[in-house]
Structure formats: C-alpha cells, structure tokens
Structure 1
Amino acid sequence: MGLETDFLSQGLVNCYLVERNTLIDGDERFGEIVRHNNVCNLDPAFFEACLDVSKQTRKAGIQSPLSPTTTQVAPTPAKFGKPDAKSARSRLTAHYPDAFTDFHGTPSGAPCIYKTGPAWPKRQGGPHAQPYIREMRPVHGHPITTVWRGFLKDVQAYLDAELGAAKKAADYVKGTILSQAGFPAIDVAVREWVTTLSGRGPKLPSLDPLVDSVAEFRHPFTSTLGLSIASAKAPYYEGTVALYLRCGNDNDDIIAITAAHVAHPPPLHRKTGISAPNGTRYREEIIALGSKAYNDAITDIMSRIGTLHEINDSLQSKIRRLGEVTPEGEGDAEAVAESLLKTERQVEDTKSNINHLDHIHSEVTKLTSTPQQRSVGFVLYASPVGPADGPNGCTLDWAAIQLSRDAFDWAKFKGNKVYIGGNIKEEEYGNLMFPNHKDRASYRYPPDGLLQVLDVVLKSEIQQPNQRNAHGDNAMPVIKNGLTTGTTVGWVNGLESLVRYYPDYDLEFTAFETTILSYGGRGAFSDQGDSGALILDRGGRIVAMLTGGGGSTDESDVTFGTAWYELESHIRKALPGCFLYPVVSGR
C-alpha cells in the first residue's frame, strides 16, 4: 500500500491510498422456470409483458430488480467523450507497459499513463496472468494535508504551462513540487480520466416502509429523498433532489435543493444562472422523474412482478412435493408440517406483493404518465455553474426549486429523510457503515430504512474523522441515494481534489471538490443522473452535495461534491431566512 497522487489528463488532481492486492467475489447465477401461472388474475397482456421484462433483465446479467439500465428509454443527454480503452491499449502500453495493470480493478478501469517510482508487483505467468486487484483508499491525517491546497495550485500552474507531456509532468511534480514541500517519497501517477457532471402537480405521497412490503419499488413515485427530477423542457437531463428547506417561519413555501446543471441544464442555458422572484411570468418548470427515470421505474415494477410469478411457481411445486412426502416418525411429520405451513405463508406474501405492485403500476401509469402530470414546481434560483470567488473556491452548482402546493401529499410529508433501502439490506447496513466493532455500542438501524438528515460535517472532521474502518484507522463511511445508482456507500477522502471541467457543455473552470471513493468491492459510488444527491455520514450529517464524477468508462472511480460547510453560506445568501425543513416526528 502506498500514497499515490494522480494528474488526470482530463483535468483532475486527486490523492488516495492504493491497496495493491485485493480479492473479489464471484457472481451468482440463477435458473429459469419455463411455465408460469397467472395467480393474481392480472390482465393477460400485462402478465406476459412482465414475464418478458423479467427474462430480459436476467439475460442482461443484472441481478438487481431495480437496475436502471434494463429498459429502452427516451433520448439521453450527450455525454462527455470518454476514451475507448481497447483502442487506447496499444497506444498507452507502448510508452508505459503497466498502463492497464497499475490500477486494474477500479470501477472505471482508467489506465495509467505514467507513474514515478519502482514498478508495482505483478503476478507471474505471462501476459495472460490475472493482474492484482487495486483499490483506492481515503487519506486522513497525513502531513501533506496542511499544504495540500497549495500543492494543488502549483500542479495546476505547471499543467497549464506544460500540457501533453505526462512523464515530464509526473517527474516534475515528484522531483520539484513534492520534494520542495517535504514529501520526496510520494510517487505520482498520471491516469486517463474524464470529469463529468452527473446529471440525468402529482401530490406525491411519502414512503412508509413500515407498512409497505414493496417500498423499494414505490419509492421513485414518492417525495422521500432520493427523488429524481428533471427540467420539463429537457426531461432527458435528469438528477436528484438533495434536501428540503423552509423559507421562514412566516412563509409556507417549501424549497427543494438540487444541482444547477440538473434544474437549469448548461447545454440549453450555457453558463447563465437564474433568479425568479415572486410574481415573474417566466418560470422554468421542474417535473418528478424525467424520461429515463419514469420508464426505468415502470420497468422495474414489471420485472419484479414477472420474477414473483416465477417464485410463486417454485413455491407451489414445493407444496406439491411436500404433500407427497410420507413422514417417517412423529418428528419427521412435524418438520414436514412446519415446512408446508411456512411455504404456504410465502405463497400468500408473494401474491400480496404482486397485487401491491400491480396497484402501483396501474396508479402511476394512469395519473403520472405524462410530464405535465408530474410537475412539482419551478426554478426559483440557479447559480451559474462555476467556481466560488476567492483563491480556494469550491464548485457552485446548485439550484432552488419552489415546490407547488399540490406537488406532494403535505399532510403525510416526512421532510428530510433519505431512503437507504433497496441496494443495501438492513443486515448489511451495520457492517458497512459501522465497520469497526468498537463503534457499534450505540448502533441502531434507521427506523424503517429512513435516515433523518441532521447537522453538518465540518472540514476538520472530513480531514480527520472520529470514525474508524475495520482495521481501526480513522475513516468516514458515507451513504447516498441517487437516481441512477440508488443507495450506495463509499469513503470520504480527507484530501480535496482540484477538478477541471472542460467546455463540452460550454463550461471551463477549476475548483476544489470533496472527494468520495468507492467502497471496496461494491462498484462505483455514483453515475450520471445522481447529481444533486445528498452525501451523508452514518448519523445523517451532511457531508456534501453530489456534483459529478471521474473515470474513463461509464463507471466513476471517484465522486465529487461541494462540501456542505462551504455551500450552505451561498444558499443562505441567495435565500435569506431559509433553514433545513424541521424534523417530522411520528411515523
């Protein structure tokens, strides 16, 4: 393990630890039942469609019934161009033989253009030997922390003057900038990455997992945080609501905060912001669930219905076989009877869930099938996307949406609670968010899988967390729920990144960002469409608002966000008197 510094050819400076020998788990494969019974008497055509969607999901190799990539969708926004790793292989290895082994196993598979220092160990066995799996780890408490921002600025200045020479840049930073800063032993790696923005009056109800057995499928159609939104003018540019604000004790207006490039997409509006005072005639309308999010949510429901019918057929087969068993003795008879009763209960639960899902599908396709039916408010304010003023400016990329009176079912509104179910089960949450047993004395799973947003994590704790990882080192696990990747966990890095955005969307600037690394073995923390999502620690304290990510493929190795301790003052300046929506007591 060693401390590594990256300059990314598309504009990121980042620092993290690399774990050089990590094991990965294998995949599971499931069988397929050929014939199915329409046990809940669904519409025959809808029943067959659900079975087809379920089969297509499995054929695509997707295990999660909530995966957003299993359906044909409306046009999506143009993405920043990313390098083709296959065509680039020979180009990169000709100059640096370890280009595809130094960082093998990271979510995006971003190649290494050049690295200083001795070569890292490689497995023997010729060119086809499986490379070691590398994993990025956060950095906390390192002496470089005190000079980190100055170091980043020196690197930026050098890169601005010397573009295109990866080896020259790496050697200069190691031999000059790092050495002069007192860190000559730190090696430097240059990787090929792209930094991207992660953008993707229905009376929406609040989610109630306490009584809802299919909460993860109902969640997209509720006001609970993790809500996906889009501009009505461009429903294919989608993102996620961060949190809700009140605008004063004497004002009933409710504000939703998200990323500006979601509410006010740069391809349509360039770098301009927006301020829409009360009484203006011009309003940029916002809808719940853009084109892809809506189609994906509907498809997930259908896929699950099809899967539940397959499960029911398997359970019915088990009941028939249990009925044919000839018990041998009293104990065996009791075991058969107990298994039969348990299976019959599972059948009833399966049928109940099918009916619940069918009801959700019927309701949302009738009441929210058009974007006009999903209107939730308008853009009250959107910051111009760019750096904050000052030498250490963070990224300003936020917007305020004034919610309409009929956007949500306000009588049952739960406020700022983030749904953390779906991808992460209750039995996993404790191990992921409280990995060190010494931290678990006060552990309680958030009631009903809803994590209450409370307070803010300050800069000092991001740099030096009080929490610990499984090895006892200071580390802060974080969690978020976003449109594209749902609920995911990661690690906040104690060192910020200096991110350069390029002019694909007519944006060109550099700014400091809070950096989130992937949680080992769980894939990317975020993807395009997650912008705006709130990044929280395990206690519900706000770390940052997600703005983008970096990687060389469709997956991101790192996630970027604007630290809330920096962003909050800008929000208060633009929206005087606003405050976090109060905690809602009760269920």
Structure 2
Amino acid sequence: MALYLAEGGDSNKLLGLLCRHVLIGPQEANLDYVYHASGPSKDVLLLGNGAFTDLINSIKIEIGGYSTKVPCWREQIEVFVEREKGTDIFDVEKARAARIKTQGFLDEAENAVQALGASLDQIKKDWKTLNNHVLGCVLYSPAISLGVGEDRFTEDWGIFQVDRAKLGEGFQGNKLDLGTKLAPDKFTDKCFPRGDANWKFKYPRDRLLPLIGVLTNELMHTPDMWDLDGEPCLLVVKSGHTTDTTLGCANGIFSITREYFTDMSVNRTSLEWAIVNYGTKSEVFSAPGDSGSIIADICGRIGGMLTAGSGKTKTSDVTYATPFWWLLKRIRADKFPNVHLNV
C-alpha cells in the first residue's frame, strides 16, 4: 500500500491509500465505487495466498542460512580456544581476538534463528486462514481518469478503512523500509553523490525512514538536490512488492502520454511525475507489481504514488507517479475533507 491516513474531524478511522487498479481489478466497470453498509464489501488483503507463501518461504530460507553457519562458527571457536592454550603470545592474542569476534557472529545467528522461528510460529498461527489476511475494506474509489483538472494528472486511487487491530501494537505510522540490498554505508554513499552535497541524511537505526512532510509542486519542478553531474534532481526511494527498495532520480520532468483501457472515453494525455533509475549501471527503479508504492525523497518528504512505468532501455528506465500533493487535494475534495497524515 501507499500510505496510512487519518480521516480526521470527529472520526478516529485509520485509512489506507492505494491505486484503484490494484484495489479494483480491470474486470469491473470503470465507475466510481462507494461502499454501502447494506451491500457486500471489497476486502483488502494484507497478504494474498501467493504473498503469504512467499513470506513463509523467505523466513525459512533466512533461518536455514543462519543455521548452516552456526556449527561452522562453533567449530572455529573450539579451534581458537585450543590455540589460546599455546605458548606463542602473539598467536594466543590473535586466537583470542578471533574467538571473541566469532562468538559475536554465533550469538547473533542463534538469536536470529530464535527470533525468526518465533515469528514464523506466530505468523502461521495468526494468518492461517484467508479471513485473517483482511486488512480492511474499500470505502471509495473514483473511476480511473486521465488528464484530470487544470493540472492534467492521472486519477488512479482508492481509499480503504484499515482494521487497526491487524497492525498490532508495533504500528509506527508512515515509514519506508530501506531494505537490506544495500548496506547502510553503501546506501548513505548513494545519498551523497557529490562532496558538496548540503542536504542531511542519516541512515535510521531501525532501517525505517520516517515519512514527514510533502514535496510541493515547486520543489518537484525545481529540485533542491543534484546528481553526480551537478544537475538538479531529487534523490528518491521506494519500497515495492516486486523490486523491493530502490533509489532513483526525479529531475522535474512531468509530461507523458498514458493509456489504460481502449474503451475509455477520456483524454488519454496525462501528466505524471517521472523518476529514472539512479544511474546507467543501476537496476530498474520499478517493475510490474510495484504499483501503489509511495515514492519519497531521502529526507522523508512524500513525493507521489507509483502508477506505472515505461520499461527498461539500454541506459535507463522511467517510472511514473501521481504527485501526492495533488492526490491529497483530490481526496479532500471528494469524500474526506479532513484527512491528514498524522496517524
């Protein structure tokens, strides 16, 4: 999903934002959808069957990886202990230092196996049936439209009510997982492509980047960061279902032509916020299945919701997003006048 929102006003409802084409499939007519309590609901699943199986398997693989290292480190520690009994003072000190270091690896692995095992048992218990995967139900989603209003952006969004109980006591609001593909130091290096960079970024200890504030239309067109060549751009990040966490560059380009359905009687020209991959040698910024991901800059300012991409070329790929400042305006104008980000 993209973001959590508070309905605001006299309501304490927690809402979720996502692309309409993710919430409501193309087999349904492209009409405004409004939930009625007297009718059937459109449930939003936190994990579908495939995603649930993938999660279980990924935890098992991670446990297996740690488990294969544990006996090796134990054997190494036994060797180091024997060497510490020797008479060569230099070798004894080397063995002692190596034993302490390896013991740290062993302790970390054993703790990880225990924690992952407990998580696996809890997930199997709490998420065994599909009904337990229901995060909430869709409340409202306007029909997909292109070139909407004076700004000419794409309208492809829906709002659903979130069951707070499903989020648990550890719910922390809107944060973006920076993933594990890049070590913290490598990720940080990419956030400062030049030595004269004057912006601030500190890798969060828990790997979760707090999303605070919104990128304005002005900042999107005139970025306050720059790339390796000194060209103005915003360094942005997203965490998607398919490609996980990726870094990209938004340089202020907006114009693009889009098509959703051949039978849509709407203007097919629409503006989108364009993001390119970090560099010519970098992986793609997004791929099919990443729709609905939120894109923010490295300072945690919310930029937009990912809606589509143009695919990989020899040098780059382009991802398209609808600016969040515009989405928020549309959401408030439609059904949720008091909605805000302070969840």
TM above 0.5: yes
1:540 matched to 2:287? no
Q: Deviations over 1:331-360 (max 9, x none)?
A: 321111121122123112211111111111
Aligned-partner SS, 1:579: coil
Match of 1:142 in 2: none
- Which aligned pairs between 1:17-36 and structure 2 lie closer than 5 A? none
1:527 matched to 2:293? no
Q: Distance in 1 between matches of 2:82 and 2:310?
A: 58
Q: Is the 8 A contact 2:200 2:299 kept in 1?
A: no
Aligned letter for 1:313?
P
- Which aligned pairs between 1:72-221 and structure 2 lie closer than 5 A? none
Q: Distance in 2 between matches of 1:431 and 1:339?
A: 29
Aligned-partner SS, 1:251: coil
- Which aligned pairs between 1:448-463 and structure 2 lie closer than 5 A? 448-463=206-221
Match of 2:117 in 1: 358
Q: Distance in 2 between matches of 1:564 and 1:346?
A: 43
For residue 516 of structure 1, the aligned residue among 243, 261, 275 is 275
Match of 1:421 in 2: 179
1:251 matched to 2:8? no
Q: Distance in 1 between matches of 2:263 and 2:172?
A: 36
Aligned letter for 2:140?
Y
Q: Distance in 2 between matches of 1:450 and 1:405?
A: 20
1:578 matched to 2:338? yes
- Which aligned pairs between 1:223-302 and structure 2 lie closer than 5 A? 241-266=1-26, 268-277=27-36, 279-302=37-60
1:342 matched to 2:105? no
Aligned letter for 1:287?
L
Q: Is the 8 A contact 1:245 1:578 kept in 2?
A: no
1:467 matched to 2:225? yes
Q: Distance in 1 between matches of 2:200 and 2:95?
A: 41
Aligned letter for 1:559?
T
Distance 1:505 1:345, change over 3 A: farther
Q: Deviations over 1:157-178 (max 9, x none)?
A: xxxxxxxxxxxxxxxxxxxxxx
Distance 1:445 1:345, change over 3 A: closer
Q: Distance in 1 between matches of 2:175 and 2:341?
A: 10
Displacement after TM superposition at 1:534 (Å): 0.8
Q: Distance in 2 between matches of 1:426 and 1:512?
A: 34
1:384 matched to 2:152? no
TM-score for both structures, normalised by structure 1: 0.54
Aligned-partner SS, 2:206: helix
Aligned-partner SS, 1:438: coil
Displacement after TM superposition at 1:455 (Å): 1.7
Distance 1:519 1:320, change over 3 A: same
For residue 235 of structure 2, the aligned residue among 439, 463, 477 is 477
Q: Is the 8 A contact 2:226 2:234 kept in 1?
A: yes
Aligned-partner SS, 2:292: coil
Match of 1:494 in 2: 252
Q: Deviations over 1:137-174 (max 9, x none)?
A: xxxxxxxxxxxxxxxxxxxxxxxxxxxxxxxxxxxxxx
Q: Distance in 1 between matches of 2:286 and 2:312?
A: 14
Q: Distance in 1 between matches of 2:228 and 2:164?
A: 47
Aligned letter for 1:297?
L
Match of 2:163 in 1: 404
Distance 1:346 1:505, change over 3 A: farther
Q: Deviations over 1:360-411 (max 9, x none)?
A: 11111222032211111100011211214346521111010111253322x5
Displacement after TM superposition at 1:552 (Å): 6.3
Aligned letter for 1:464?
T
CA RMSD of aligned residues (A): 2.5
Distance 1:335 1:507, change over 3 A: farther
Q: Distance in 1 between matches of 2:179 and 2:305?
A: 20
Distance 1:376 1:505, change over 3 A: farther
Based on CA coordinates, which of the two structures has the bigger radius of gyration?
1
Match of 1:566 in 2: 326
Match of 1:213 in 2: none
Q: Is the 8 A contact 1:433 1:478 kept in 2?
A: no
5+ residue gaps, structure 1: 1-240
1:306 matched to 2:38? no
Displacement after TM superposition at 1:276 (Å): 1.6
Q: Is the 8 A contact 2:8 2:340 kept in 1?
A: no
Q: Is the 8 A contact 2:242 2:290 kept in 1?
A: yes
Displacement after TM superposition at 1:282 (Å): 2.5
Q: Distance in 2 between matches of 1:292 and 1:525?
A: 23
Aligned letter for 1:403?
V
Displacement after TM superposition at 1:472 (Å): 3.0
Distance 1:342 1:271, change over 3 A: same
Match of 1:124 in 2: none
Q: Is the 8 A contact 1:544 1:562 kept in 2?
A: yes
1:322 matched to 2:80? yes
Displacement after TM superposition at 1:433 (Å): 2.0
Q: Percent identity?
A: 28
Q: Is the 8 A contact 1:377 1:407 kept in 2?
A: no
Q: Deviations over 1:104-127 (max 9, x none)?
A: xxxxxxxxxxxxxxxxxxxxxxxx
Q: Distance in 2 between matches of 1:484 and 1:505?
A: 29
Provide runs of 4+ in structure 1 moved above 6 Å.
Answer: 504-508
5+ residue gaps, structure 2: none
Q: Is the 8 A contact 1:536 1:543 kept in 2?
A: yes
Q: Distance in 2 between matches of 1:320 and 1:506?
A: 71
Aligned letter for 1:466?
D
Q: Is the 8 A contact 1:381 1:400 kept in 2?
A: yes
Q: Is the 8 A contact 1:288 1:374 kept in 2?
A: yes
Q: Distance in 1 between matches of 2:308 and 2:167?
A: 28
Q: Distance in 1 between matches of 2:185 and 2:243?
A: 20
Aligned-partner SS, 2:320: strand
TM-score for both structures, normalised by structure 2: 0.90
Aligned-partner SS, 1:489: strand
Match of 1:128 in 2: none
Q: Distance in 2 between matches of 1:437 and 1:575?
A: 47
Q: Is the 8 A contact 1:524 1:557 kept in 2?
A: yes
Aligned letter for 1:384?
A
Moved more, 364-373 or 434-443: 434-443
Displacement after TM superposition at 1:251 (Å): 0.8
Aligned-partner SS, 2:50: helix
Distance 1:273 1:407, change over 3 A: farther
Displacement after TM superposition at 1:265 (Å): 1.4
Aligned letter for 1:308?
Y
